[in-house]
A and B are shown apart, each in its own frame.
Chain A
Amino acid sequence: MSCEPWQCAEIAATKKANPIQKPEIAVAMIKRAVRPILVVGSNATARFMEGKPLIDFLIDFANASKVPVVATAHMVSEFLKRGYTPAGYMSAMDIGNRLVDPTWQGLDGKGHPDLAIFVGLPYYMESLILSGLKHFAPDLKTMTIDNLYHAHASWSYPNSTLEAWAENLKVMTLKFKEGGN
């Protein structure tokens, strides 16, 4: 499993993400966060594992972890169709722009998120937003739970196969189910 950015030319990062070697580590980080959010992009319905779209794995994960979901693009309708109501939805640029504003009080108005987890945006867009957050939201931790390494995040899984990704997502969900949240 490699910790090179998935897209070959995306190498210009002096401060690189710590690799998440095991899903348990990601779970521990998320549990440690007080106000995490999960930003879900349009690949949620374009990536398939074990015959299911990514979004199905993410709904299970969100239900188990209780991490509030922000759907980008038109993904809100895909969540609603599946009986899950995200905490919010807005364009990927809007959520990035709110996260760099330290005065933003989060989706519920109760405080700024301290961990932003990203998954399923087009790789280059996610990379750019994570870069924006790295530079302009120094107090925010970021994580991606994609199967592609994102150098600009605080934590990222290394590049891995779809099979390993499905496994990681399932383990994370299970750990939350087992251990409460």
Chain B
Amino acid sequence: MTTKNVRVKIDELKTNLGLIKNLDLSVGKIVDDSWTEPMGPTPMPGLTTLRDWDMTLLNKYKPFYMPDCDLCCLCTYGKCDLTAGKRGACGLNIADQSSRIVLIACCIGAATHNGHARHVVDHLIEKYGRRYPLDIGGLNVKVEAPVTRLVTGVRPQTLGDLDEVLTYCESQITHLLSVAHTGQESSNLDFESKALHAGRIDQVGMEVADIAQVSVFDFPKADPEAPLIKMGIGTVDQSKPVIMCIGHNVVPSVGIIDYMKEQKLDDKMEVVGLCCTAIDNTRYFDRAKIVGPISWELRFIRGGFADVVVLDEQCVRTDASLEAERVKAPVIAASEKNCIGYKNRTNDPADQIVEDLVSGKVPGVLILDPEKVGEVAVKVANRVAPIRKKMKSLPEIEEIKELAKKCRNCNMCQRSCPQDLSIPKAIKAAAEGNYAPLADLYEECIGCGRCEEACPVKLEIHSFILKIGEKNMLEETNYCRSGRGAIQDVEIRSVGGPIVLGEIPGIVALVGCANYPHGGKDVYDICREFALRRFIVVTSGCSAMSAGSYRNEEGKTLYEEFPGGFEAGGVLNVGSCVSNPHIAGAAIKVANIFAKRNLRGNYEEIADYIHNRVGAVGLAWGAYSQKAASIASGFWSLGVPVLVGPHGSKYRRMLLGREDKPDNWEVYDARTGDKVNVGPAPEHLFQTVETPQEAMVTIAKLCIRPNDTWKGRSIKLSHYIDLHKRHYGLMPPDIDRFIRTPADIPMTMKDEITALLKAKGWKESIIPDPTLLPRMIRKTKE
């Protein structure tokens, strides 16, 4: 890309008007005159540009609302009671309100990722200039930003190009959020369409953030052999000063790691992380350690491991600073989005800030200069570590017994626990000296602390669980593969055919947060099941950590057991939350590189292609955040089904197909224009699954696509049938819906299925060239 613009950069200029410093002026727009791919119909779509596509999906997968609240309280006309069809003072009903909440969640998610991207891109432009070239994987990745190309029609080549892309995204988010104002949109389906648009913008924002950081910080570049990273509290050398970084934005951590290296302290200290910052730290520095997912913040701080806590943005417990104070660990707030009420010390000399933190004069500071964060964090950790001596805020075991005797058996802890854990029973047992029931809670507890807030006698229940589980905690030593980033073009070339034909039975992406119903082991089990079945298993974020937190019979973690390539039987971690577009990007690249469809500004056609041909499914087993909502929305919009675990039902709206309604499953055959019933493939776009067993059966089923060849279909069906029989105890009753010709029938089950088809009065049908878009029909009927 060439940028036909004028750039003036003046570091210092004395003029009659005074002294001008750091002036950086750019005039002009990006004109890409080297990209020959023709522009598609929808570059930089506005709010309604892709509305027809959205409505096509929403007609096939209708919203099922489960309002979390009967009321709306968003304006002063309210509160309005919207129960069972009543309208509010503004005329809104509960379906509209429910979809409005979905839109708001998706806007928050999209704004958060785009805000993150904006911070990273602006920071990097300031440091390295707009012309800094993007490099996602050298010659291995020519389609460097598939989502951005698809949505915006821009092929970004420099940091400056990303700035332009973000400007578009920011304008869309502003418009989208404005739609949620009272007296704007009045149809639930239009709210839903806008939520899908927020998902598209979210994907672009995430992609921008990740390709910027991959390029500049030299993260693994589309590397199937990205390093294996030590993970777990047990891997942290507690004899060393420990800096703990929590959040999602790697920029302050880069300041820390650079300073440590500069001072040659990198093997004398530990930098550990929680949540996505942890993953991105390891992409920058392979000796950084991951201690765990978002839900382990209290575990790590109360356990006393951290000498300095550095908080950046997103999913940071808002009481992390108070918890750190209890263990006398100074806190550095490093993001303008999370200032914690601390004084802004960005412009103070580093040594003065260090003195104030070490002496305990202040518990924490706000520093918005990442390099200064680095210097202060390293110096403070080294001075504080010998004083703190890893001070914990956990009780001793004997104390637990005594404290537990205060329990009134009021049940408020259990009633406040999102997991409905049997806490009162465990406390009662502890009072009698039996700690086994408390130990049983360790794996399922998500560390939210709600039990403690509810307890009328102020028992620190979560700390009790941690203390009893301490031995396990200290033995946690596993491996996570560092985030590899994008999928290489050559990998797409070799698996594109088998995916589209159905011979690789599917791509399963386990992504998102750690609000699991029964601990992280389910994530591991699901990943392993599908890797052994030679699906392509992709992970990111906290799910990537949980996937690596358990071992097989030979003592190997998933990332040691399976290769890290985008291949049948591969288990690959793309990276942090903002790396999720590499998963969407892989599906887009199948359409582009394998099927040679133009992707530039050609959203609808590519989404239609993916929806009908690429057997990809996302599972966010522990999704909790608004960002997870917008990430899911970006996948829905591409026609990729997403499943969430039971807590995901709280997103309050599913997008469900009706398997029992035949008209739901008609597509056009692009060759003839005929309508062909292809069965419920895929059946849903967004669905909550209740148990891991249900998740596994549903994943296998949702990988089925209308375009599967007979060979691919029979492979997919054999996995679906096998898992269904194993977990549901019988042959799937809907199998006839997925068999188009006798060749689709898995060989080993021929007799059983043939009999079943006969009983159902099954008729043979054709395998169409499937599309939902009338304009893709090549020959219309007379």
Residues of A within 8 A of B (CB): 6-9, 12-15, 41-42, 72-74, 76-77, 80-81, 89, 91-94, 96-98, 100-101, 104, 121-125, 128-129, 131-132, 134-136, 138
Q: With A100-B64, A128-B652 given, is the CB distance from A135 to B688 under 8 Å? A: no
Write the nearest CB–CB distance from B83 to chain A, whole angstroms. 5
Q: Find the A residue at minimum CB distance from B688.
A: A93
Q: Find the A residue at minimum CB distance from B517.
A: A122
A124 lies within 8 A of B70 (CB): no
Q: Once the chains are docked, how many angstroms separate the CA of A100 from the CA of B98?
A: 15
Contact of A7 among B64, B420, B659, B730 (CB under 8 A): B420
Write the nearest CB–CB distance from A93 to chain B, whole angstroms. 5
A80 lies within 8 A of B688 (CB): no
Q: Once the chains are docked, how many angstroms separate the CA of A7 from the CA of B71?
A: 19
Q: Once the chains are docked, how many angstroms separate the CA of A136 from the CA of B97?
A: 13
State whether the Cβ of B727 lies closer than 8 Å to any Cβ in chain A. yes
Instruction: Find chain B residues with CB under 8 A from A42 CB.
Output: 690-691, 694
Contact of A93 among B416, B654, B691, B697 (CB under 8 A): B654
Task: Write out, one digit per residue, whether chain B residues 650-661 have a CB within 8 A of any chain A CB (1) or not (0).
Answer: 101010101110
B689 lies within 8 A of A91 (CB): yes
Contact of A15 among B83, B646, B687, B689 (CB under 8 A): B83
Q: Find the B residue at minimum CB distance from A9.
A: B416
State whether the Cβ of B529 lies closer than 8 Å to any Cβ in chain A. no
Q: Find the B residue at minimum CB distance from A13.
A: B70
A135 lies within 8 A of B727 (CB): no
Instruction: Find chain B residues with CB under 8 A from A72 CB.
Output: 690, 694
Contact of A12 among B71, B650, B693 (CB under 8 A): B71
Instruction: Find chain A residues with CB under 8 A from B68 CB.
Output: 12, 128, 131
Q: Once the chains are docked, how many angstroms separate the CA of A76 from the CA of B728?
A: 6
Write 17 A-B pairs (CB below 8 A) sorted by A numbering: A7-B418, A15-B83, A42-B690, A72-B694, A91-B687, A92-B649, A92-B690, A93-B64, A93-B654, A93-B656, A93-B688, A94-B656, A131-B66, A131-B68, A134-B83, A136-B84, A138-B85
Contact of B65 among A9, A91, A135 (CB under 8 A): A135
B404-448 at interface with A (beta carbon < 8 Å): 412, 415-416, 418, 420
Q: Once the chains are docked, how many angstroms separate the CA of A93 from the CA of B84?
A: 19
B689 lies within 8 A of A14 (CB): no
A135 lies within 8 A of B454 (CB): no
B656 lies within 8 A of A74 (CB): no
B: number of interface residues (CB 8 Å): 46
State whether the Cβ of B729 lies closer than 8 Å to any Cβ in chain A. yes
Top 10 nearest A-B pairs (CB, nearest first) are A77-B729, A74-B693, A128-B66, A73-B690, A12-B69, A132-B66, A97-B64, A73-B691, A73-B694, A80-B729
State whether the Cβ of B522 lies closer than 8 Å to any Cβ in chain A. no
State whether the Cβ of B449 lies closer than 8 Å to any Cβ in chain A. no
Instruction: Find chain B residues with CB under 8 A from A97 CB.
Output: 64, 654, 656, 658
State whether the Cβ of B737 lies closer than 8 Å to any Cβ in chain A. no
Write the nearest CB–CB distance from B280 to chain A, whole angstroms. 32
Q: Find the A residue at minimum CB distance from B694.
A: A73
State whether the Cβ of B470 lies closer than 8 Å to any Cβ in chain A. no
Write the nearest CB–CB distance from A94 to chain B, whole angstroms. 7
Instruction: Find chain B residues with CB under 8 A from A96 CB.
Output: 64, 66
B489-522 at interface with A (beta carbon < 8 Å): 517
State whether the Cβ of B630 lies closer than 8 Å to any Cβ in chain A. no
Q: Once the chains are docked, how many angstroms separate the CA of A104 from the CA of B659?
A: 12
Instruction: Find chain A residues with CB under 8 A from B660 CB.
Output: 98, 104
Q: Once the chains are docked, how many angstroms separate the CA of A6 from the CA of B654?
A: 24
State whether the Cβ of B469 lies closer than 8 Å to any Cβ in chain A. no
Instruction: Find chain A residues with CB under 8 A from B70 CB.
Output: 12-15, 131, 135
B646 lies within 8 A of A135 (CB): no
Q: Once the chains are docked, how many angstroms separate the CA of A93 from the CA of B454?
A: 31
Contact of A74 among B84, B416, B650, B691 (CB under 8 A): B691
Write the nearest CB–CB distance from A143 to chain B, whole angstroms. 17
Instruction: Find chain B residues with CB under 8 A from A131 CB.
Output: 66-68, 70
Q: Once the chains are docked, how many angstroms separate the CA of A136 from the CA of B687?
A: 18
Instruction: Find chain A residues with CB under 8 A from B684 CB.
Output: 93
Q: With A14-B81, A122-B646 given, is the CB distance from A132 to B690 under 8 Å? A: no
Instruction: Find chain A residues with CB under 8 A from B85 CB.
Output: 135, 138
Q: Once the chains are docked, how many angstroms separate the CA of A97 from the CA of B649?
A: 13
Q: Find the A residue at minimum CB distance from B689.
A: A91
Instruction: Find chain B residues with CB under 8 A from A125 CB.
Output: 646, 649, 688, 690
Write the nearest CB–CB distance from B456 to chain A, whole angstroms. 12
State whether the Cβ of B281 lies closer than 8 Å to any Cβ in chain A. no
Instruction: Find chain B residues with CB under 8 A from A12 CB.
Output: 68-71
State whether the Cβ of B288 lies closer than 8 Å to any Cβ in chain A. no
Instruction: Find chain B residues with CB under 8 A from A14 CB.
Output: 70-71, 81, 83
Instruction: Find chain A residues with CB under 8 A from B693 CB.
Output: 73-74
State whether the Cβ of B698 lies closer than 8 Å to any Cβ in chain A. yes
Write the nearest CB–CB distance from A154 to chain B, whole angstroms. 11
Q: Once the chains are docked, how many angstroms separate the CA of A145 from the CA of B122?
A: 57
B690 lies within 8 A of A91 (CB): yes
Q: Once the chains are docked, how many angstroms separate the CA of A117 from the CA of B416?
A: 25
B729 lies within 8 A of A76 (CB): yes
B418 lies within 8 A of A124 (CB): yes
Q: Once the chains are docked, how many angstroms separate the CA of A131 from the CA of B650?
A: 11
State whether the Cβ of B94 lies closer than 8 Å to any Cβ in chain A. yes
Instruction: Find chain A residues with CB under 8 A from B95 CB.
Output: 136
State whether the Cβ of B647 lies closer than 8 Å to any Cβ in chain A. yes
Q: Find the B residue at minimum CB distance from A71.
A: B728
Q: With A14-B71, A138-B84 given, is the CB distance from A91 to B694 under 8 Å? A: yes
Instruction: Find chain B residues with CB under 8 A from A123 CB.
Output: 420
Write the nearest CB–CB distance from A157 to chain B, whole angstroms. 16
Q: Find the A residue at minimum CB distance from B684.
A: A93
Instruction: Find chain B residues with CB under 8 A from A80 CB.
Output: 729-730
Write the nearest CB–CB distance from A139 to chain B, whole angstroms. 10
Q: Find the B residue at minimum CB distance from A101.
A: B658
Q: With A14-B71, A93-B687, A122-B517 given, is the CB distance from A132 to B65 under 8 Å? A: yes
Instruction: Find chain A residues with CB under 8 A from B412 CB.
Output: 8
Write the nearest CB–CB distance from B70 to chain A, whole angstroms. 5
Q: Once the chains are docked, how many angstroms separate the CA of A101 from the CA of B694?
A: 24
Q: Once the chains are docked, how many angstroms separate the CA of A33 from the CA of B109?
A: 45
Write the nearest CB–CB distance from B761 to chain A, whole angstroms. 15
Write the nearest CB–CB distance from A147 to chain B, whole angstroms. 12
A74 lies within 8 A of B64 (CB): no
B647 lies within 8 A of A41 (CB): no
Q: Find the A residue at minimum CB distance from B81.
A: A14
Q: Once the chains are docked, how many angstroms separate the CA of A93 from the CA of B643?
A: 11
Write the nearest CB–CB distance from A63 to chain B, whole angstroms. 19
Instruction: Find chain A residues with CB under 8 A from B689 CB.
Output: 73, 91
Q: Identify 20 new A-B residue pairs, CB closer than 8 A, beyond the known A80-B729, A135-B84.
A: A7-B416, A9-B416, A14-B71, A14-B81, A15-B70, A72-B690, A76-B730, A93-B64, A97-B654, A97-B658, A98-B658, A98-B660, A124-B650, A125-B649, A125-B688, A128-B68, A131-B70, A135-B67, A135-B70, A136-B94
B698 lies within 8 A of A74 (CB): no
Q: Once the chains are docked, how many angstroms separate the CA of A76 from the CA of B694?
A: 11
Q: Find the A residue at minimum CB distance from B656.
A: A97
